[in-house]
Homo-oligomer: A and B are copies of this chain.
Amino acid sequence: MLKPIATGAGSCHVVITGGAGFLGVRLARTLLAQGTLSLAGAAPVVVGPITLVDRAAPPADLLADPRVIALTGDLNELLSSGRAGLDAHTDVVFHLAAAVSGECEADFDLGMRSNFAATLSLLEACRALKTQPVVVFASSLAVFGDAPGVPLPPVIEDTTLPTPQSSYGIQKFIGEQWVADFSRKGFIQGRSVRLMTVSVRPGKPNGAASSFLSGMLREPLAGVRAICPVPADTPVALSSPARTIAGLIGAAQASAQTWGPRTAMTLPALTTTPAEMAAALQQVAGPAVAALIDWAPDAAIHNIVKTWPARINARRAAGLGLLPDTSFEEIVREYIRENTDVIKPASAS
């Protein structure tokens, strides 16, 4: 049975794929909290309904919100049967659904279905609407990889050639190309943003090689030992959950002119190292918590992580007012403020 949906003539209809995932849930909560959205440079209108499309159901607070519709199922199947929540009223689609890098590397065909085929089907569905919805496509830092014969430059610029070294990265980079051409053809108003590794992610470890970049903070803050599998001085590029969501919303809000080229925009990142992250943890939560990190280098993980870019000159993003986090300490403080399941250290603000 459909629940009554709060909507109106001037409202902004939002669809979020992967809407029950960590970023999808946070994006939905942020949009609902701010209440309005200035889509593609237009005047602000009321947000709603927000349709969350995912295999899983979203959390109870979102299900209870009269502005939220939850559609559960396989995205490919929902799209092929026209039940993915897209219609002529859809104003903006945030396409976050994806299989993660480790999964795609282990199961090539899974990535082809979940990342490649689903993205193309979604774009074709948006094209079929003939209403040019805004489509914010979550691409990834993983489009960059240190390739044999094509070493990464020390700093990633907006015009750096991506040479993905994973199927996940290839599939994301191909998604960027579709978004660019569907935009050029006037089928959608595309906005591809390359997300950084998000830290600190709440919840559980996942199959991503980057999982430890949250785990080495999150687990100690819950009183649990955690492993850092790379050398302490390995440079990494990170973004807090809040800055990541700001990047997605900033992309949706940018006018075509402000947005600029149809190529993907690389979001800003804080460059840090596990040593600095551990020091920030110690500063904020005390030495006993920081001592829960086990430094146990794992060559397999280090070999992946060291091919990732660590320094980003996100010039285009800065033009939209999107800036990197100021310090990892601030990221840790934000995580502690937001998460009730951490063992609140005395020194935490």
Contact = CB atoms under 8 A, between A and B. Distances in A.
A177 B181 contact: no
In the complex this chain forms, how many copies of it are found? 2
B161 A150 contact: no
A261 B147 contact: yes
Looking at A147, A163, A174, the one whose CB has the most chain B CB atoms below 10 A away is A174
Interface string A287-311: 0000000000000000000000000
A260 interface: yes
Given A150-B263, A261-B147, A261-B149, A181 B161 contact: no
A180 interface: yes
A117 to B, nearest CB: 10
Nearest to A170: B181
Q: Main secondary structure on chain A at its contact with chain B?
A: loop
A177 B263 CA distance: 16
A156 to B, nearest CB: 11
A40 B160 CA distance: 30
A259 to B, nearest CB: 9
A185 B149 contact: no
Interface string A151-162: 000000011111
A158 B147 CA distance: 13
A273 interface: no
A320 to B, nearest CB: 13
B184 A165 contact: yes
A147 B263 contact: yes
B163 A261 contact: yes
Contacts of A178: 170, 174
A108 B148 CA distance: 35
A260 B149 contact: yes
Looking at A108, A170, A180, A181, the one whose CB has the most chain B CB atoms below 10 A away is A181
Contacts of A150: 158-159, 261, 263
Interface of A: 108, 147-150, 158-165, 167, 170, 173-174, 177-178, 180-181, 184-185, 260-263
Given A148-B261, A149-B260, 10 more contacts: A108-B185, A148-B260, A150-B158, A150-B159, A160-B161, A161-B161, A163-B180, A163-B262, A164-B181, A167-B181
